[in-house]
Amino acid sequence: MLISALLCICICLSFIFDGYMENIFIVLAVIAFYKQIIINKEYKYMCYAVIISIIGVNCLVTLGFRNYIKFEDTEPAQEREETLILLVSEGESKNYNLRERATQVAYEDGNKSYITATKDLYNYKRYYSKFGSSNFKENAEEIASKLRTMLGNDYKVVNSYLYSSPYFESSLEGVISKGFKKIILCPLFMTEGVDYNVFKDRFDTLNLSTYELKELEVLDTFYKSSGLAMMYKNEILEQINKKEEDAGVLLVGLHDKNNLEQDIQFRETVRDYILQEEKNKDIQIKLPLLENNKHDIVKSGEELLEYGIDTLYVALTTCTIDTMYSRYLVESILKELDMGNTKFYYIDPKKKLDILAEEIFIKISLIANIGG
């Protein structure tokens, strides 16, 4: 029983580790397999061993491998006049980082992570193996850099993350200790979905009243953004007009990550902008959901093809900064829609980071009356 359990534990750990640690667990699993199965031919307790190892590794990941993030009491320095803009996004390390991804799984899945942690981490490892490295933080820093230029010297802009270093609690602790009394937090989420709720839950546990901050604002998410909706409309119509063919458009939503009502609201806004501008063109638009509803994508694509359309434009409109997960979703969409001679074009707006920075600037301007 013990060797069977060790065999299964080593297999589970090889799924979630990478590099030399993965190789070590593979070697140990091979040794245990050879001894238990080949030599001893012992299968009696294997089912129990599998169940025990999966539960044990999931608990180990959820309780032992994750980072525990705390906001430490700090002594503020001399007050500074500048306003601090703290951008808060998911965060993703350039290369696969077991502790950070375990932290993400624990926060996003909650108690469900005791059942799903190993599977989720294995999937993240697969994404990194498939796509290489993540450019999430480079994109987040590009937004911050554009925002610094727009806001000028009276503002400081800092990036922070929910699931990667620097964590937003640590960043908030740091800026308070440096004497900032005016702080605006900007969650870089499209809707008030899973990640936004994680942010709000963690933010609400902070006791910031003791620091006598002059200003503490939390900006809204982006699902009401007309600027982003217009950007997608312009990008989609530009691509359609280049081809001068009958076109179908799939505005894809995120079923698991986003607030569904807000996700649909934003995609409907994009759809309405497209139809208002191109009244003389017969553009067919569907609003399918992804993740657990891949059949919805296929069904929507097939319905559009019934109109005689041979070109489909696909846009994942309700994602702010692309992650390894969203890149995987895009690839899965295109695979699901592989229907022979049909041509597919994925809409990846070149100006999305610029528009995000502009939208944040507008929100801050309304609060601070910049230029007014």
Q: Using CA atoms, how far apart are residues 185 and 141, in angstroms rounded to an integer?
A: 16
pLDDT per residue rounded down to tens, the chain (372 residues): 678 888 889 999 999 999 999 999 999 999 988 888 777 777 677 788 888 889 999 999 999 999 999 888 888 888 899 999 999 999 999 999 999 999 999 999 999 999 999 999 999 999 999 999 999 999 999 999 999 999 999 999 999 999 999 999 999 999 999 999 999 999 999 999 999 999 999 999 998 888 889 999 999 999 999 999 999 999 999 888 887 667 788 898 888 889 999 999 999 999 999 988 876 677 888 888 765 555 666 667 666 666 667 778 889 898 899 999 988 888 887 777 766 666 778 888 889 999 999 999 999 998 876 554
Q: Using CA atoms, how far apart are residues 275 and 115, in angstroms rounded to an integer?
A: 45
136-148 exposure pattern, b = at least 16 Cβ within 10 A, e = fewer: bbebbebbbebbb
Which pTM value belongs to this model?
A: 0.90
Secondary structure (3-state) at 162:
coil
Q: What's the pLDDT score for residue 301?
A: 66
What does the CA dihedral 201, 207, 212, 215 come to, rounded to 10 degrees?
0
Q: Please indicate whether the domains covering 80-222+356-368 and 226-350 agree at the CATH topology level.
A: yes
Q: Using CA atoms, how far apart are residues 330 and 309, in angstroms rounded to an integer?
A: 21
How many residues comprise the chain? 372
| 127 neighbors 327 (Cβ within 8 angstroms) | yes
Asked whether the bond before 166 is cis by omega within 30 degrees of 0, the reply is yes
Q: Using CA atoms, how far apart are residues 26 and 13, in angstroms rounded to an integer?
A: 9
Q: Using CA atoms, how far apart are residues 243 and 366, in angstroms rounded to an integer?
A: 40
Q: What's the pLDDT score for residue 306?
A: 64
Q: Which residues contact 361 (CB under 8 A, 6 or more apart)?
A: 147, 150, 151, 370
Q: Show me where the domains of the chain are located.
A: 2-65, 80-222+356-368, 226-350
Give the bridge partners for 289, in sequence order. Answer: 253
DSSP 128-147: HHHH----HHHHHHHHHHHH
**Residue 341 backbone dihedrals phi, psi, to 5 degrees:** -85, 0
CATH 3.30.390.10 is the classification of domain 80-222+356-368:
no
C-alpha dist (Å) from residue 205 to 188, 202, 371: 20, 5, 35
Place of tokens 């009356």: 369
Q: Using CA atoms, how far apart are residues 136 and 215, in angstroms rounded to an integer?
A: 29
CATH 3.40.50.1400 is the classification of domain 226-350:
yes
C-alpha dist (Å) from residue 169 to 155, 185, 203, 216: 20, 11, 8, 14
Q: Using CA atoms, how far apart are residues 108 and 127, in angstroms rounded to an integer?
A: 18
